[in-house]
Amino acid sequence: MEIQNQPIKRNLPRDVFLHLLAIVTLYWSAITFITLLWQFINHFLPNILNDIYTYQSKFELMRFAVSSLFIVFPLFIFVSWFLNKIYAKEAVVRESKIRKWLLYFTLFVAALVVVGDLVSVINNLLGGETTLKFILKALSILVVAGFVFGYYLDDVRRETPSKLGKIFAFITSFLVITAIIASFFVIGSPNSARLFQYDQTKISDLQNIQSQIVNYWQRKEALPATLNDLSDPISGFSIPQDSQTQKSYTYNITDTAKLSFQLCASFNKQSDNNQNSKTVPAYYGNDLYSQNWSHPAGYYCFERTIDKQLYPPLNKPNAQIIK
């Protein structure tokens, strides 16, 4: 009895899963790669007025982009390779509707991104607001979206996989690996990031202590003799300690009459010029931008003097009213 050849049974759930995974990881990789490029541009072409509040977020975005590319991009390459292996055995999978729909949707999205990017460039040119920073960001979107559009436009027209697939994989892998390696020169190693976080915490602690010292002066018309005088169980404030060394911060009164004092701590690294203006306490209102928290590596003391006109005692107006 002869056994007739049976047609290969399609594994539709597998095909849907793999094609969706390939497209999602493609989008994710492209977006995070552009994000990483933008943060490089922000780092090397800083805008003090716009970047004053984004210094820390820049590094957070870079770390997230690098983390995503570490995991998502290799997954995209692997899934694409696995799909090509399936196409070689089951040519019908390459012609599946789910693949066609996803590819054409990708072309649609890439085309919209390119058109929107060009419209934005022209709009800024007409408005006279185009800067090198904007041009580079627009160019990064144009190149990535155009590269994706060109590759998948060629791929969707073919009945068999193109040799361009390997070239696409090699080029994108080279660019991603290069961007990841370059990012470590900006954000530093994990150990460097940990030391930076320690320094940021110390600055935040000193800001809180400074705020409490000013508040103490306004209420009692005197500087606290020691930091322990600032402890308030009612408000819940307690003197923070250096989270790295578990030691107390140093507080010295340098001039009682002028209300001058020092706040000192040991720092791991010299502060970046952009970082210094990002770590000022919101408490200081009109004096917000005069507070300089730049510091060298090692032990350093911040000199502070309370301005009596900016921060008058709180009980004086009440006393005058009673009289």
Q: What is the pLDDT of residue 321?
A: 38
Rounded to the nearest 10 degrees, what angle do helices 164-187 and 132-157 cross at? Answer: 150
The structure tokens listed for 35 are 């994000």
pLDDT band at 286 (very low <50, low <70, confident <90, very high): very low
Q: What is the pLDDT of residue 205?
A: 93
Domain that holds residue 290: 192-317
Structural domains of the chain, count: 2
The structure tokens listed for 135 are 């041009």
Query: Using CA atoms, how far apart are residues 321 and 111, in angstroms rounded to an integer?
Result: 70
Tell which of 146, 171, 188 closes a domain.
188
Tell which of 159, 188, 217 closes a domain.
188
pTM of the model: 0.70
| 249 is a domain residue | yes
Query: Using CA atoms, how far apart are residues 263 and 303, in angstroms rounded to an integer?
Result: 7
Do 249 and 306 fall within a single domain? yes
Tell which of 155, 188, 221 closes a domain.
188
Match 């961007």 to its residue by tokens. Answer: 179
- Collapsed DSSP state (helix, strand, coil) of residue 304: strand
Closest CA to 253 of 284, 221, 293, 222: 222
Do 155 and 302 fall within a single domain? no
Closest CA to 26 of 69, 73, 68: 73
7 close to 64: Cβ distance less than 8 angstroms: no
Output 291 or 84, whichever has higher pLDDT. 84
Do 132 and 154 fall within a single domain? yes
pLDDT in tens, 111-145: 999 999 889 888 887 877 668 888 898 999 999 99
Do 136 and 211 fall within a single domain? no
